[in-house]
Amino acid sequence: MTIDLERDDLDTPPDPLAILEGARAARSEPERSEAAVLAALQVAPNDRDVRMGAYKFYFYNSRLAEAAPHAAWCVRDGAHALGLPEDWRALPPGSADCTGFPKPQRFLVQSLVALGWCRARSGDIPGGLEVLAKVIAVDPSDGFGARRIVEVIERAAVAGDEDD
């Protein structure tokens, strides 16, 4: 899918979510789905829904190295929306408590979990665990089960060491 940026109807910008819908519609055709994701990113690279859609596309297609930059973008965007430092390492403890599941905090914490998971599953286990430790610090309610995810990753790392 290509977007004609030389259109005559420039007063009506293309709808990035409508373009992104093409990714869902073409789920059984990964090339067509990816084309829709890339087209939506071309039209609206700073749109939260488009970035999360791109993350999900790459994640569900087991392309975690390509999913991670979109998760990282979502972390920065979520932190910015909450008036927090955009560098996840600088997020203060308790700054995204998901008790009661407020939407802005949920988005930030979900994005952090996604980033940590992508890093760990892509082979950067220490980096993934570092991000997940930050999730536990910023969300003491552990609304997304980061402690459990850390246990799973650590157990898999130990099992991998035993296989060597």
The pair of three-digit structure tokens given for residue 6, joined into one six-digit string: 């030389």
d(CA 129, CA 136): 10
Q: pLDDT tens digits for 4-45?
A: 445 454 455 678 878 877 777 656 788 889 999 999 999 999
pLDDT(126) > 50: yes
Domain boundaries, the chain: 1-45, 65-163
Higher pLDDT, 17 or 101: 17
Average pLDDT over all residues of the chain:
87
Tell me, what's the pLDDT at 70?
98
Q: pLDDT tens digits for 37-73?
A: 999 999 999 999 999 999 999 999 999 999 999 999 9
Rounded to 5, what percent of the chain is helix, strand, coil? 65, 0, 35
